[in-house]
Amino acid sequence: MEIKRIIGPAVSIILAIGIGVAVMVSHERKANDEAVKNTAASVVTLKGMIGSEKESLFADARVIERLRTQGFRVEVEKVGSREIASRELKGYDFGFPAGAPAAIALQNKVKAKQVYPTFFTPMTIASWRLLIPVLEKEGVVKKEADTYYIVNMKRLLEMSANGVRWQDLAGNTAYPTRKSILVSSTDVRKSNSAAMYLALASYVVNDNNVMDDKAQVTQHLPFLTSLFLRQGLQESSSAGPFEDYTTMGVGKAPLVMIYESQFLEYQSKRAKPNMDMVLLYPQPTLYTKHIVVPFTENGRKLGELLATDPELQNLAAQYGYRTTSSDNFATFLKEKHLQAPITIVDVIDPPSYEMLERMIQAIELQFQ
């Protein structure tokens, strides 16, 4: 009897505690479910067109999560940067091309009151270490502080326009091919990287002056056109020529106009950087700005976030992009054991939007 008197109350207490715990757990689960529902309801799905070079950035789980915590789920479609403005934009919230000229064309089309520069990268030429001695002997390339610079861009362009072949270069035993010396690029009618190549070439051939009148275009158009016509097939996306460079090697792509960020991102994802690959920095060069052009209010909010959020800016630097904070870029290089100049001094502006478009349209006529 004594034992029963003790066990009875104890069982009741245990039962009461169990019921209390069950009720508490039920309330917590309900609260968590409500929180998940509220979070899901607060996340807005946006759709945008981007240059192909930013596809991997938007696919990064850290970027996706950061955007989600800020209320966005972003779906992207890769399109040639200059092509975006020619597309049907209904159903999209933003465009994110490479290059100010492409952004200006898009801004004019949608009449966006404000655009959002996010990060930037210089134009460079991807090449191969075995070609360096040949290019140095020609006076085209020079090494300074662990960086290879194209110190005579005009000489390189003239060899390309005049049909000089690699085997024609004196003492070239490293790459004695009949292949013409060409800087491969994308389609200048569709892609920003090719448009930036044109902008750079136009400056160099115009005695290191930005082209600013029709007479200059008329004078130099045959030379500039040859740089693109002699390449043959060109792709609309910057990912194409760079993929040829990384997969097919020097035989297919000895010199390729690319964004610095493409090269650095590729090397950073390898267990060890490919030391056969070399990045050449033209003197002068141009920066390509990556600019969000909003079509809707949510697109505007996303653009502002990408341009100002410290975490997203740091994540962009981890893909080889330069941001307003040079520390992000320097830290990325150090962590990945990569070499690149932190500061680039010899940087020019492209021609005005109208002048660049005039050159591109004139070249387009020669393709027909």
At 295-349, the pLDDT tens digits run: 999 999 999 999 999 999 999 999 999 999 999 999 999 999 999 999 999 999 9
> Is residue 105's pLDDT more than 90?
yes
Neighbouring C-alpha atoms within 13 Å toward the C-beta of 209: 8
Tell me the whole-structure pTM to 2 decimals.
Answer: 0.86
Percent of the chain with pLDDT over 90: 80
Give the right CATH number for 45-367 from 2.60.40.1180, 3.30.450.40, 3.40.50.450, 3.40.190.290: 3.40.190.290
**Banded pLDDT at 37 (limits 50, 70, 90):** very low
> Is residue 125's pLDDT more than 50?
yes
pLDDT of residue 16: 52
Q: How far apart are CA 203 and CA 356, in angstroms?
A: 11
Q: Which residues pair with 121 in a beta bridge?
A: 288
Residue-wise over 139-157: b if at least 16 C-beta within 10 A, else e? Answer: ebbeeeeeebbbbbbeebb
Per-domain boundaries in the chain: 45-367
**Which of 56-60, 76-80, 117-121, 287-291 shows the lowest per-residue confidence on average (mean pLDDT)?**
76-80
Contact 194, 209 (CB under 8 A): no
pLDDT of residue 19: 55
Q: How far apart are CA 56 and CA 45, in angstroms?
A: 19
pLDDT of residue 18: 55
Tokens of 314: 């740091």
> Is residue 196's pLDDT more than 60?
yes
**Banded pLDDT at 236 (limits 50, 70, 90):** confident
